[in-house]
């Protein structure tokens, strides 16, 4: 029962933090192009790129870790903030994760909200 309550609390936290903000700060947009600032999380080393540690709060970084490590949860949580109309997001996952390639999760800055 305790694990279930922690799971529910985590889901509520993620939903609250996923208040998407469609206007991005300069340099926050993730990109694979060299020379641009990247928003990334390494699933193996559990480390964020410098941009994320600079702009993220402790709570938002916790939400990104949960999102990257529990895609199956966020995939089943719809996003209600209007991201579908502006960015095509179909679940809460898209507010946090753009893609995962190997151990590198490329992050969407909307979760910084």
Q: pLDDT (tens digit, 9 = 90+) per residue, 63-106?
A: 999 999 999 999 998 877 777 666 777 888 888 999 999 999 99
- Asked if residue 23 is part of any domain, the answer here is no
Structural domain boundaries, residue 58: 2-17+40-112
Both structure tokens of 12: 């509520």
Both structure tokens of 27: 């340099």
State percent of the chain over pLDDT 90: 43
- Residues near 21 by Cβ (< 8 Å), separated by ≥ 6? 110, 112, 113
Query: Are the beta carbons of 92 and 98 closer than 8 angstroms?
Result: no
- Asked if residue 68 is part of any domain, the answer here is yes
- Asked if residue 86 is part of any domain, the answer here is yes
- Asked if residue 108 is part of any domain, the answer here is yes
Query: Are the beta carbons of 79 and 69 closer than 8 angstroms?
Result: no
Maximum Cα interatomic distance, the chain, rounded to a whole number of Å: 48
- Asked if residue 63 is part of any domain, the answer here is yes
Tally of structural domains, the chain:
1
């Amino acid at each position: 029962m305790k694990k279930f309550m922690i799971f529910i609390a985590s889901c509520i936290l993620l939903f609250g933090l996923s208040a998407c903000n469609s206007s991005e700060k300069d340099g926050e947009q993730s990109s694979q192009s060299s020379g641009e600032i990247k928003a990334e999380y390494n699933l193996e080393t559990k480390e964020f790129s410098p941009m994320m540690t600079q702009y993220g709060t402790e709570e938002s970084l916790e939400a990104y870790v949960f999102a990257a490590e529990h895609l199956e949860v966020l995939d089943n949580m719809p996003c209600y903030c209007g991201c579908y109309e502006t960015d095509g997001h179909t679940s809460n996952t898209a507010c946090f994760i753009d893609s995962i390639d190997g151990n590198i999760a490329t992050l969407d800055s909307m979760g910084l909200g």
